[in-house]
Amino acid sequence: MIAAVVFLVAYAWEVIGNLSGTAAAAAELVITATWAAFVLDYAVNLLLAPRRWVWFRGHIFDLLVVVLPLLRPLRLLRLVTLLSVLQRTAGAAFRERVVMYVIGASALLVFVASLAVLDAERSAQGASITTFWDALWWAFVSITTVGYGDFAPVTAMGRLIAGGLMLGGVALLGVVTATLASWIVEQVAKQEEDARVATRGEIRALSRQIEQLQATLDSKAP
């Protein structure tokens, strides 16, 4: 997580500041050092795993973090799992975690995509995305699948970033929809359970009244 924070700060500093010379070399050194930390972390975990192939298949995202630099800041999403300790109800904890992941992932994806597309587009001929604020606006409208068209990437790398960002936006929208649907289903089930409990109580009360009436009739019988 610390390496992810350091990488994100160094990458943002390099792109937004449009560094050159010694400053650019320093930023690249920090980025390379964080990459080495991620490679070491992945290699050690793979070597220590009792069943390496099973571990490998279950940690594809960790491999992508090593291979694709722009995914490294997403390691920060693990921080939000610490808040789930405060939750006691399983369903509520799950939804709380999903909401936090969606908010965190959306913010990080928009910010990182803004940096990446600015880095790819700024020096291209005919580019419309030349400032960080332009890139931030483009990333925001892209992840929400609105796409006004006022800014659009012209390089192959920029379009690749755009495709990944739009897929991420669709995936996050699906998570939000599924979470909302599960909450609605739970509320409906709760209301139905309350209604069943009330109905059972009324039936028991009616049964007691019938028993009392029957006992009264039996006592008055000759």
CA–CA gap between residue 138 and residue 214 (Å, rounded): 78
Asked if the model's pLDDT at residue 215 lies above 50, the reply is yes
Tokens of 186: 């739970």
Asked if the model's pLDDT at residue 83 lies above 60, the reply is no
Asked if the model's pLDDT at residue 72 lies above 60, the reply is no
Site of tokens 């960790």: 62
Where residue 140 falls among pLDDT bands split at 50, 70, 90? confident
CA–CA gap between residue 201 and residue 196 (Å, rounded): 9
* Helices vs strands, H then E, count in the chain: 7, 0
Q: Is pLDDT larger for residue 133 or for residue 169?
A: 133
Asked if the model's pLDDT at residue 220 lies above 70, the reply is no
Determine the pLDDT at residue 92. Answer: 53
Q: How many CB atoms lie within 10 A of CB 122?
A: 18
Q: Where are the CATH 1.10.287.70 domain residues in the chain?
A: 87-222
- The top-level CATH class assigned to 87-222 is mainly alpha
CA–CA gap between residue 11 and residue 119 (Å, rounded): 10
Q: What is the pLDDT of residues 1-20, one digit of tens each?
A: 787 788 888 888 888 888 78
Name the nearest CA neighbour of 115 among 144, 87, 135. 135
Where residue 217 falls among pLDDT bands split at 50, 70, 90? low
Q: What is the pLDDT of residues 165-201, one digit of tens each?
A: 887 777 777 766 776 677 677 767 777 666 676 677 6
Range from 66-80, 102-116, 185-199 that averages highest in pLDDT: 102-116
Where residue 81 falls among pLDDT bands split at 50, 70, 90? very low
Asked if the model's pLDDT at residue 89 lies above 80, the reply is no
Determine the pLDDT at residue 184. Answer: 72
| Averaged pLDDT for residues 111-133 | 84
Q: How many CB atoms lie within 10 A of CB 94?
A: 14
